Amino acid sequence: MSEAPSIKVTQLTKVFGKRTVVDRLDLEVFPGELYALLGDNGAGKTTTINMLTTLLKPTSGRFSISGFDGIADPERAKSGFAVVSQEVALYQELTAFENLMFVSRLYGLPKKGAIQRIEQHLRQWDLLSRRDDYVGDFSGGMQRKLSIAGALLRSPRVLFLDEPTVGLDPGSRQHIWEILTGLKHEGVTIFLTTHYLEEAELLADRVGIIVRGKLIAEGTIDDLRGRLNHMKSICVRMARRPDPQELESSLSRLRNFAFGEVSYDELRNTFSIALTSQGHLSETLRAVTDWIETEHIPITGVSTSEPSLEEIYLALSHEPSPPPKIEQSPVAPLSKDGK
């Protein structure tokens, strides 16, 4: 990407006592991009967000937000971002309206139209009927929604959200997803952490996986999936059971066509092709369909399976270190005669 990053992090490190909690983190997030930082409990996600939002001083390293140096020029760095922290930070003894008015004043938003703007945000989060109720009496999910409304009140260009959908009902979660997608399309840069991998899969342009403070993998979900070819497979369900001789020749012909590990599951009467590390799912699928057509193989269906983000996350974050590098291997031929 040739554009300047909205968030640029270089060798960012935090040490608490003897423990390195964030370890030489390097990352960039570009305008209009949603980056999801994934990691187990205690991996260093909140510590990272706290440093990037200037709440916590890094031990070493640098970062900039919207081009402003977060360490040398924190005030200007702070001017363009908003944050929804993991712990809800609201005044319990103020009403919903008063909390948002406090935020509005804190950020010096125009006084003119402030009431209408706040009411509009409350309406958007289905909280207008609770406008004058004390936040201390709100449920956890309502407080979280109000925190997000407060962060969005200032129309930030960069938005940090630390586990924004914890404790929200499915409708509210969906609502946040829609709002975040809309913001992304308006060019807002979003950096979020989540333990809900379907949320990251749905929203994130890129994800980073942090393990004990180190970023061990990063990329689009497809990039990460590319590292886990052995978890991809194609399944061919046969219409009738092949006789043993037919099975042998089918298997050997399929091995000629397909680029992967071919096996036959007698119980399910299916052939499956597990990709090798250099295989390509779509090309292997094409080879398999060629085999079906040219050999007139009687089938009832073909299916492909790829790891979900959850499976990718578990495989990458729990694999023995060091993690494998993305291989830039040449496209392998599909069949022995180079078809």
Ligand X SMILES: Nc1ncnc2c1ncn2[C@@H]1O[C@H](COP(=O)(O)OP(=O)(O)OP(=O)(O)O)[C@@H](O)[C@H]1O
Binding positions for ligand X, rule: CB under 6 A: 16, 21, 39, 41-47, 86
Q: Which does 95 bind (CB under 5 to 8 A by kind): ligand X, Mg ion, none?
A: none
Minimum CB separation from ligand X for residue 215, in Å? Answer: 12
Q: Which of 50, 45, 9 is nearest to 211 (CA)?
A: 45
Of 21 and 204, nearer to ligand X (C-beta) is 21
Of 166 and 251, nearer to Mg ion (C-beta) is 166
Stretch that binds Mg ion, among 43-51, 77-85, 91-99, 211-219 (CB under 5 A): 43-51
Of 53 and 284, nearer to Mg ion (C-beta) is 53
153-180: burial string, b at 16+ Cβ within 10 Å, e else: bbebbbbbbbbbbeebeeebbebbeebb
By the rule CB under 5 A, 46 interacts with Mg ion: yes
H helical segments located in 156-243: 170-185, 197-203, 221-226
For 47-89, where are the E strands, in sequence order? Answer: 60-65, 68-69, 81-84
Q: Which residue has the tokens 């509009």?
A: 120
Of 14 and 157, nearer to ligand X (C-beta) is 14
Minimum CB separation from ligand X for residue 17, in Å? Answer: 7
Of 41 and 245, nearer to ligand X (C-beta) is 41
Q: Which of 226, 321, 339, 330 is nearest to 23 (CA)?
A: 321
Q: Which does 44 bind (CB under 5 to 8 A by kind): ligand X, Mg ion, none?
A: ligand X
Stretch that binds Mg ion, among 82-90, 216-224, 288-296, 308-316 (CB under 5 A): 82-90
Strand (E) or helix (H) holding 35: strand 34-38
Binding-residue total with Mg ion (CB under 5 A): 3
SS3 category, 63: strand
CA distance readout (Å), 176 to 25, 180, 195, 203, 281: 28, 6, 15, 11, 33
SS3 category, 162: strand
Query: Could you tell me the two tokens for 27?
Result: 């990352």
- Residue window 88-107: x/- pattern of binding to Mg ion, with contact defined by CB under 5 A: --------------------
Indicate the burial class of 190 (C-beta count within 10 angstroms; 0-12, 13-18, 19 or more). buried
Minimum CB separation from ligand X for residue 20, in Å? Answer: 9
Minimum CB separation from ligand X for residue 19, in Å? Answer: 7
Minimum CB separation from ligand X for residue 49, in Å? Answer: 8
Q: Which does 16 bind (CB under 5 to 8 A by kind): ligand X, Mg ion, none?
A: ligand X
Minimum CB separation from ligand X for residue 80, in Å? Answer: 23
Query: Could you tell me the two tokens for 161?
Result: 């959200």
Q: Which does 192 bind (CB under 5 to 8 A by kind): ligand X, Mg ion, none?
A: none
Of 25 and 118, nearer to ligand X (C-beta) is 25
Of 45 and 121, nearer to ligand X (C-beta) is 45
SS3 category, 81: strand
Which residues contact Mg ion (rule: CB under 5 A)? 45-46, 86
